[in-house]
Amino acid sequence: MGLLEDKVVLVNGGSQGVGAGIVRAAVREGASVVFTGRRAEVGEKLAADTGAHFVCADLADPAEARDSAVHAVDARGRIDCLVNAAGLTSRGSLLDTTPELFDQHMAINLRAPFFAMQAVVADMVTRKAPGTIVNIISNCAHGGPPHLAAYSTAKAGLAGLTRNAAHAHRWDRIRINGLNIGWTDTEGEDATQRAFHGAGDDWREKAAAAQPMGKLGQVDEIADFVVFLLSDRSGVVTGSVIDWDQIVFGGQD
């Protein structure tokens, strides 16, 4: 028996990176998975590889974020678990972030999870059924670097939303937790390092050597942790925003 045997899991932002890793891990652990993404070709390939159901969606549109739940219910009959994994990491400081960039970050990193959770929790409450939600947040919720001002703002909001919703729906037996992930080795991070930081082909090796554990965060390790939080094996824990990183916040040398 897998950790998510007979569970219906919706993964928003599941076509690549951490989200795709979660799709694979959830399928491996017995779940029936529906996932969303903007890139149809990438999503359809992952669906073919895993047997998960792909829905092409732009979560920046709150209607499409809400409709992700509708599509999942239509495809699988209900939703037991939700993962909000979509994220935008384009750079901008306090001084150079435009209103347009700020709004993009709010739309993907905060508004989309809000309205997806709204729809999923409504389904669970209507059915009087328990459920679990995991929000992929970021260690930037603690403050973040200067070049991620809007991103850090949105992720801090998502951490607050996670706790607020967990408290609001604890008596509905809906557990809601978040993961503040750190620097992670994904194809999206590779593109970001090259586009914004002039990184060469050896950036991963240099970055890994500068980390306490000698490596960046790994997608499969994060995915396994998310599956555990979604599953009954994580017990009663709710409202927790866990720092999944090798930085010790508050530690000093």
The residues annotated with a catalytic role in the active site are: 151
Number of CB atoms found within 10 A of residue 45's CB: 14
Pairing of strands 53-56, 8-12: unpaired
* Angle (CA) 44 117 222, round 5°: 60
Separation between Cα atoms, residue 77 and residue 36, nearest integer Å: 17
* Angle (CA) 11 91 196, round 5°: 105
Pairing of strands 8-12, 32-37: parallel
Residues 6+ apart with CB under 8 A from 196: 90, 91, 147
Number of CB atoms found within 10 A of residue 233's CB: 10
Separation between Cα atoms, residue 24 and residue 208, nearest integer Å: 25
DSSP codes joined into one string, 42-74? HHHHHHHHH-PEEEE--TTSHHHHHHHHHHHHH
Q: Name the helix (H) or strand (E) containing 81.
A: strand 81-84
